[in-house]
Amino acid sequence: MRKIILVASGKGGTGKTSLTAAVGTALAGLGKKVLVVDGDCGLRNLDLVLGMSELAVFTFADVARGTVPLSRAAAAHPTTDGLYLLTAPADLPDLTASQMRSLAEQTEQDGYDYVIIDGPAGLPAELSLYAQIATQGIVVTMPDPASIRGAERVARRMEDECIMRIRLVVNRVRPRLVRYGVAANIDDAIDTSGLQLLGIIPEDEDVIACAGSGKSVVSYKKSGAAQAYRNIARRLEGERLPLMRL
Would you say 192 is a known binding-site residue? no
Give the chain's domains with CATH numbers.
3-237 (3.40.50.300)
pLDDT tens string 10-37: 999 999 999 999 999 999 999 999 999 9
pLDDT at position 221: 82
pLDDT tens string 50-88: 999 999 899 999 999 999 999 999 999 999 999 999 999
Segments of the chain assigned E as strands: 3-9, 34-38, 75-76, 83-86, 114-121, 136-141, 166-173, 196-202
* 159, 7 Cβ separation under 8 angstroms: no
* 40, 119 Cβ separation under 8 angstroms: yes
Number of H helices, E strands in the chain: 12, 8
Would you say 18 is a known binding-site residue? yes
Would you say 12 is a known binding-site residue? yes
Would you say 15 is a known binding-site residue? yes
pLDDT band at 122 (very low <50, low <70, confident <90, very high): confident
pLDDT at position 178: 58
Would you say 16 is a known binding-site residue? yes
pLDDT tens string 191-224: 999 999 999 999 988 887 877 777 788 887 888 8
pLDDT at position 177: 61
Would you say 102 is a known binding-site residue? no
pTM: 0.94
The rounded mean pLDDT for the chain is: 91
pLDDT at position 123: 82
pLDDT at position 153: 95
**φ and ψ at residue 9, rounded to 5 degrees:** -150, 155
